[in-house]
């Protein structure tokens, strides 16, 4: 028995159970980066260890009801899913009996992959550098031409962090209603933008998808939710894998709701640090495009391929990774970096080639 305990202690001190040493700071994946989050999560683990939740099957309906109450949603309108990607799959499988999936691009690649898997034609609408009036016109034309269809809009989007106004989204919803189509509003980054009014004036034509990965550090726990009219939510729930969400994830959801103030502080910090980094870049490089991001990252266009390449190499030597877009024609001079504490953002900015 003593040898067994010694072996257990030795294993627990090694990765992945012990402290994991990593040589790179990953600012390319948009995972939550905040210095106080590890301590907050440790508190959750200590609380969880005192329960017996791990020995029970997940109480999905109780978790959904708890979330409905917390966000002020209608009863039976929330479906929990194991991450946003499987949420996308569930939506397309449940209500994808249409001509195609229209997606405002840039968008998460899972939309294209699941559209192909369920036999829908994928039609991407490039909205890079378009005005809001152009956005409404392009989306309206595409919906009318391809109706009935599914329409996906990420708001804010996951590449540039652009946020479309409530008025613009409402106009798209009107078109969807008229054309017997359904809007999937992907709000993965909504916690980092100004809160938008509820968009359920036409609930039978709008499905909202939200994840806890970006704002609550749940990327590895796999937890997201879909909000829809009750009849649509029931159809989506039928496609869900039985017990695909763990009791651990449901317990973390409960912790998130209990510690709402702490997570709000973390998000507020990230918004403040994001604005600081953007203002610094605009001041140092006035000829760059540094659009205002409404997500947990900054996005900038240097208009120079060699600058981006040098930046990538210098950051690599500093042990920092950001997302470069060398293989995507519209973004070859652009970069995106997840927001971290100011000292890290200062290190990143210090690596930018000074000749430009």
Mean pLDDT across 114-142: 91
Neighbours of 141 (CB within 10 A): 12
Q: Could you tell me the pLDDT band of residue 199, with boundaries at 50, 70 and 90?
A: low
Could you give all domains of the chain from N- to C-terminal order, each with its CATH number?
A: 21-44+261-350 (3.90.1150.10), 59-245 (3.40.640.10)
Average pLDDT for the chain: 87
CB-CB contact of 142 with 125 (8 Å):
yes
Tokens of 71: 């966000």
Indicate if the pLDDT at residue 87 is higher than 50: yes
Q: Which helix (H) or strand (E) holds 333?
A: none
CB-CB contact of 126 with 105 (8 Å):
yes
Mean pLDDT across 169-177: 93
Q: What is the dihedral of CA 101, 105, 108, 110, to 10 degrees?
A: 30
Indicate if the pLDDT at residue 340 is higher than 70: yes
Q: Could you tell me the pLDDT band of residue 6, with boundaries at 50, 70 and 90?
A: very low
Mean pLDDT across 182-210: 81
- Give the pLDDT confidence of 251-278 residue by residue, as tens digits: 999 999 999 999 999 999 999 999 999 9
Q: Could you tell me the pLDDT band of residue 318, with boundaries at 50, 70 and 90?
A: confident
Per the rule left: phi > 0, alpha: psi between -120 and 50, beta: everything else, 332 is alpha
Query: 105 versus 194: which is more confidently predicted?
Result: 105
């Amino acid at each position: 028995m003593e040898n067994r305990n010694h072996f257990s202690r030795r294993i627990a001190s090694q990765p992945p159970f012990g402290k994991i040493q990593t040589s790179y700071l990953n600012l390319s994946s948009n995972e939550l980066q905040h210095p106080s989050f590890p301590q907050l999560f440790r508190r959750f683990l200590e609380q969880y260890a005192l329960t017996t939740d791990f020995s029970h099957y997940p109480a999905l309906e109780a978790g959904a009801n708890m979330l409905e109450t917390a966000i002020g949603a209608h009863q039976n309108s929330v479906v929990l899913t194991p991450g946003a990607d499987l949420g996308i799959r569930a939506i397309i499988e449940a209500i994808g009996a249409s001509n195609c999936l229209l997606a405002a691009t840039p968008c998460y690649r899972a939309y294209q992959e699941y559209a192909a898997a369920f036999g829908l034609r994928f039609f991407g609408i490039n909205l890079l550098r378009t005005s809001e009036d152009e956005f409404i016109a392009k989306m309206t034309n595409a919906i009318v031409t391809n109706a009935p269809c599914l329409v996906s809009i990420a708001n804010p989007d996951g590449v540039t962090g652009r946020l479309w106004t409530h008025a613009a989204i409402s106009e798209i919803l009107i078109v969807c209603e008229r054309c017997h189509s359904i809007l999937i509003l992907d709000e993965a980054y909504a916690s980092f933008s100004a809160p938008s009014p509820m968009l359920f004036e036409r609930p039978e034509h709008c499905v909202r998808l939200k994840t806890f990965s970006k704002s609550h550090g749940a990327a590895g726990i796999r937890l997201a939710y879909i909000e829809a009219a009750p009849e649509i939510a029931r159809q989506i729930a039928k496609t869900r894998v039985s017990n695909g969400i763990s009791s651990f994830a449901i317990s973390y959801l409960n912790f998130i709701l209990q510690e709402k103030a702490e997570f709000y502080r973390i998000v507020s910090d990230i918004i403040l640090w994001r604005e600081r980094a953007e203002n610094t870049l605009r001041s140092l490089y006035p000829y760059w495009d540094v659009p205002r991001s409404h997500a947990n990252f900054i996005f900038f266009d240097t208009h120079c391929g060699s600058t981006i390449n040098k930046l990538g190499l210098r950051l690599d030597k500093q042990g920092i990774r950001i997302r470069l877009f060398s293989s995507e024609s519209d973004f070859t001079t652009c970069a995106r970096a997840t927001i971290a504490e100011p000292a890290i953002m200062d290190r990143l900015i210090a690596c930018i080639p000074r000749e430009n």
